Amino acid sequence: MLPDYPSIKKKIEKKFIEAIKNEIRKDPLLSAIRVHQVLEGNALTSSSIDGYSESVKFELISANLEIPKEELINKGPDAYFSRVTELASEIKNQESELVFKKMNEVTKKTGHVVNAKSKPLSPELIHSALEKMAIDFDEFGNPIMPSLVLHPDQFEKIKDEIPKWKSDPEVRKKYRELIEKKRREWRDRENRRKLVD
């Protein structure tokens, strides 16, 4: 009978899982999403400030790992760690697809959709999208702006336009007006919140 080293295997497993998580956190979209570990149950209920509430069952995200016995004997733990990037990439793709699928479902249900399929991205289109969102503010009154996620091809089309938008007095004026409106909405939301004893 061969010896077994459960405590060593547990340490390697922990480092392996942590390496995959660290690789996933490098993704700009997924790293911006807060993660909460749920230790029991099979569903999660969430509510928006608009009163939209939904209970969803958890979905499995997984990656397959097969290592030939010979490689494991020759490389030891490196046989696992050499596959971290590949496994993390597979998980990132599944998580990203799930995030966009969920966002599409929720925005359609709540009516927070701006149709941009036939229009090029513009300040007006961005303002229309921001108009439909709740924007929070920090303790200094600065807006906590949402992230804009674009396909790399879309970004290439507009990257040279962004400095022009930022310097356009009319665009800046409309942006300031929008932020002021969102600040009033945020204050109203904060005033309606129930204080906890």
pLDDT digits (tens, 9 = 90+) for 40-80: 888 888 776 667 777 888 888 999 999 999 998 899 889 98
pLDDT digits (tens, 9 = 90+) for 19-45: 999 999 999 888 888 888 888 888 888
* Predicted structure pTM score: 0.70
Q: Is 182:132 a contact under the CB 8 Å cutoff?
A: no
Q: Report the residue count for the chain.
A: 197
Name beta bridge partners: 166.
none
What confidence category does residue 184 fall into, taking pLDDT thresholds of 50, 70 and 90? very high
| Of residues 120 and 74, more confidently modeled | 74
Q: Is 42:58 a contact under the CB 8 Å cutoff?
A: yes
Question: Exposure of 30 by Cβ count < 10 A (0-12 exposed, 13-18 middle, 19+ buried)?
Answer: middle
The kind and range of the H/E element at 44 are strand 43-47
Cβ-defined contacts of 161-165 (< 8 Å, 24+): 165/123
How far CA 182 is from CA of 6, 143, 166, in Å, comes to: 56, 9, 19
Residue 196 has pLDDT above 60, yes or no: no
Residue 197 has pLDDT above 50, yes or no: no
What confidence category does residue 1 fall into, taking pLDDT thresholds of 50, 70 and 90? low
Of 77, 88, 85, 81, the closest CA to residue 9 belongs to: 77
Residue 83 has pLDDT above 90, yes or no: yes
What confidence category does residue 133 fall into, taking pLDDT thresholds of 50, 70 and 90? confident
How far CA 67 is from CA of 23, 80, 88, 97, 129, in Å, comes to: 20, 8, 16, 27, 47
pLDDT at 117: 73
Name beta bridge partners: 45.
55
